[in-house]
Amino acid sequence: MADAPSVLIVDRERFSSLIAKMPSTKHGTDTATDGIQAIKKLRMEVPSIMVVDQDIPGTGIRLAELIGMNAAYNAMPIILTSTTPSPDTIIRARNAGISTYLAKPFRPSELTMRIDGALAGPPPAPPAVEVEPLAEGEVPDDTEVEEEETEAGSGADISKRVRTIEGLPPFPATHAEIMKLAKSEDASGEDLAEQIQMDPSFVATVLKLANSSYYGFSKKTDSLVQAVTRLGMEEIANLVMSAQVFENLGGMDEGNGLDIKEFWKHSVGTAFVARAVAKKLQTEVEAAFLGGMLHDLGKIVLDRYFADFYVSVVELVQEESISIHQAERDVMGITHAEVGGQLAEEWKFPKNYLNSITYHHNPKNTRRHQRLVCVIHLSDVICRELGYGSGGDDNVPNIDESVMDRFTLGDRGIKILKEAAEEDLANADSFISGLAG
pLDDT tens digits, 146-167: 333 333 333 335 556 787 788 8
Q: Within its chain, how far is the Cα of 405 from the centroid?
A: 27
Report which secondary-structure segment, H or E, holds 72.
none
pLDDT digits (tens, 9 = 90+) for 47-77: 999 999 999 998 999 999 999 888 888 889 9
The Cα–Cα gap between 334 and 326 comes to: 9
Model pTM score: 0.83
The Cα–Cα gap between 89 and 74 comes to: 20
Q: Which of 70-74, 274-278, 302-306 has the lowest mean pLDDT?
A: 70-74
- The fold of the 6-119 domain, in CATH, is Rossmann fold (3.40.50)
Is a pLDDT exceeding 90 seen at residue 377?
yes
DSSP secondary structure code for residue 400 in this structure: P
Provide the pLDDT for residue 346: 87
Give residue 387's region: left, alpha or beta (phi > 0; psi -120 to 50): left
Which part of the chain has CATH 3.40.50.2300?
6-119
The Cα–Cα gap between 6 and 15 comes to: 18
- Name the nearest CA neighbour of 239 among 187, 276, 204, 194: 204
Q: How many CB atoms lie within 10 A of CB 163?
A: 14
pLDDT digits (tens, 9 = 90+) for 251-267: 888 888 999 999 999 99
- Helix residue spans in 59-202 (DSSP H): 60-68, 87-95, 108-119, 142-152, 156-161, 174-183, 189-196
Bond from prior residue into 122 cis (ω within 30 degrees of 0): no
Q: Read off the pLDDT band of 281 (50, 70, 90).
A: very high
Is a pLDDT exceeding 90 seen at residue 80?
yes
Summarize the confidence of residues 343-366 as an average pLDDT.
93
- Name the nearest CA neighbour of 270 among 288, 252, 250, 243: 288
- The answer to whether 417 touches 188, Cβ cutoff 8 Å, is no
Angle between helices 370-386 and 285-294 in degrees, nearest 10: 60
Mean pLDDT comparison of 44-58, 170-184, 370-384, highest-scoring range: 370-384
- Half-sphere exposure of residue 204: CA atoms within 13 angstroms, side-chain side: 6
pLDDT digits (tens, 9 = 90+) for 9-41: 999 887 888 888 887 767 889 999 999 999 999
- The fold of the 146-436 domain, in CATH, is Hypothetical protein af1432 (1.10.3210)
Provide the pLDDT for residue 410: 96
Which part of the chain has CATH 1.10.3210.10?
146-436
Summarize the confidence of residues 85-104 as an average pLDDT.
88
Q: Sheet containing 100-103: give its strands across.
A: 28-32, 6-10, 49-53, 78-82, 100-103
Provide the pLDDT for residue 252: 86
Q: What is the mean pLDDT of the chain?
A: 85
